[in-house]
């Protein structure tokens, strides 16, 4: 049974004009998006662009300082954070990992491990797992309690390229078999696009968003040309156009300095491609002087600001 994205249904979670401010600085601002049942939404953006802050706000771990977050009543969230506080010096089996935060029936545990391909490893020690197996174990833990919304912060950490493809295939299959909504964070759009309905690109605010081109998603196209061709179809150059200064102010490419970066402040200019062209200085977590181009598949209907 398959559950295609259904944007008509009432969203599981929706963010409207959300802003989070810390130490006098907006970490994110003006963030709008929603995730519906059966939909995979991916947040991409450079380091420090507010992806984790945004998902934590979406699931209620952080409160927005402006705007609002609406969650479906009784929403069950399965969250795989970017970092996990595990004491690696103590032995920990997969079975124990699955029940660390609460009891779980043998049946639900077995079904979750089966879904991620780890059913034979119940007694394996987490310390000895490969990067890909560890990510799968975390995913099993998150899906075992049958969440309505699965939130994965960088699910391919420590995973090689072929393992990455396998993990995104798994994410898509979890969506297809359970119909849950999935909110993903990724640095890299190359692989994730194949398993995404909507991409939201963050750089302190939503700088572009959209669905992958319909044709590159169509089964016929992929069957005819293969998934590599589907990826090559929609490469676009992506370039941010402002600089976050150490004091939190923003230097725009037109030379203007503003207190915040905001899509409607008149300093963000449309491009053919879409550029990140800014320096995030010390104290900003964006320490790389990144004038970088990512290769992304072109999301249809994207908005450049
Ligand atoms: N509690 C906090 N107080 C002050 N600043 C914070 C806090 N949490 C996060 N930040 C800052 O907010 C910015 C956004 O952080 P966030 O972790 O959301 O980014 P990210 O896009 O997930 O980054 P990465 O790709 O590196 O994981 C960073 O500059 C970070 O240093």
Asked if residue 207 lies in contact with residue 201, where contact means CB atoms within 8 angstroms, the answer is: yes
Low-confidence ranges of the chain (pLDDT < 50): 1-2, 4, 6-7, 214-225, 229-230, 232-239, 270-305
Pocket of ligand 1 (CB under 6 A): 22-23, 27, 45, 47-53, 82, 284-285
The rounded Å distance from CA 1 to ligand 1 centre is 38
Report the DSSP beta bridge partners of residue 210: 199
Distance CA 254, CA 258 (A): 11
Specify the residue with its C-alpha closest to ligand 1, atom 5.
Answer: 22
> Do 21 and 41 contact (CB within 8 A), yes or no?
no
176 SS3 class:
helix
Q: Is 159 left (phi over 0), alpha (psi -120 to 50) or beta?
A: beta
Cα pseudo-dihedral 67, 68, 69, 70, rounded to 10: -150
- First and final C-alpha spacing in the chain: 39
Domain boundaries, the chain: 87-141
Question: Are residues 183 and 55 in contact, defined by beta-carbon separation less than 8 angstroms?
Answer: yes
Residue 46 Cα to ligand 1 midpoint, Å, equals 11
Of 52, 288, 21, 63, the C-alpha closest to 186 is 52
In a 13 Å sphere around the CA of 166, the CA atoms on its Cβ side amount to 14
Residues paired with 259 in a beta bridge = none
Q: Among 18, 21, 22, name the best residue to mutate to test ligand 1's pocket (greatest count of ligand atoms within 8 A of Cβ).
A: 22
A 10 A CB-CB count for 61 gives: 14
The SS3 of residue 127 is helix
Q: What's residue 245's pLDDT?
A: 57
User: Cα–Cα distance between 194 and 227 in angstroms, integer?
Assistant: 8
How far does the centroid of ligand 1 lie from the alpha carbon of residue 83, in Å? 13
Q: Which atom of ligand 1 is nearest the CA belonging to 202? A: 21
ipTM above 0.95, yes or no: yes
CA distance 127 to 87: 10
Strands of 242-244's sheet in order across: 242-244, 250-252, 257-258
The 3-state DSSP class for residue 72 equals: coil
CA 185 to ligand 1: nearest atom: 22
Q: Atom 8, ligand 1: which residue's CA is nearest?
A: 53
pLDDT in tens, 157-195: 778 877 888 888 889 999 999 999 999 998 655 566 667
**Ligand 1 center–CA 51 separation, angstroms:** 8
Residue 272 is predicted with a pLDDT of 34
């Amino acid at each position: 049974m398959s559950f295609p994205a259904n944007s008509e249904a009432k969203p599981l979670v929706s963010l409207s004009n959300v802003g989070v401010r810390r130490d006098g600085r907006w970490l994110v601002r003006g963030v709008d998006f929603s995730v519906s049942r059966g939909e995979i939404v991916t947040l991409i953006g450079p380091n420090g662009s507010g992806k984790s802050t945004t998902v934590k706000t979406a699931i209620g771990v952080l409160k927005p300082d402006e705007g609002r977050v609406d969650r479906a009543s009784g929403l069950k969230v399965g969250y795989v954070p970017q970092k996990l506080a595990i004491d690696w010096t103590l032995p920990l089996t997969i079975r124990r990992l699955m029940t660390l935060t609460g009891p779980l029936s043998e049946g639900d545990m077995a079904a979750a491990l089966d879904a991620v391909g780890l059913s034979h490893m119940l007694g394996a020690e987490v310390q000895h797992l490969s990067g890909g197996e560890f990510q799968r174990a975390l995913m099993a833990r998150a899906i075992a309690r049958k969440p309505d919304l699965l939130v994965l912060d960088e699910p391919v950490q420590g995973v090689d390229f072929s393992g990455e493809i396998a993990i995104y295939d798994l994410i898509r299959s979890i969506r297809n078999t359970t119909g849950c909504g999935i909110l993903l964070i990724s640095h890299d759009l190359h692989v994730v696009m194949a398993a995404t309905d909507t991409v939201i690109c963050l750089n302190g605010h939503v700088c572009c968003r959209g669905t992958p081109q319909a044709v590159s998603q169509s089964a016929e196209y992929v069957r005819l040309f293969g998934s590599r061709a589907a990826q090559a179809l929609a490469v676009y150059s992506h370039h941010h156009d402002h600089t976050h200064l150490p004091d939190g102010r923003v230097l725009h490419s037109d030379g203007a300095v503003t207190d915040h970066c905001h899509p409607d402040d008149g300093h963000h200019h449309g491009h053919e491609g879409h550029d990140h062209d800014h320096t995030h200085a010390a104290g900003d977590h964006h320490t790389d002087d990144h004038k970088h181009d990512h290769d992304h598949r072109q999301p249809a209907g994207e908005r450049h600001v």
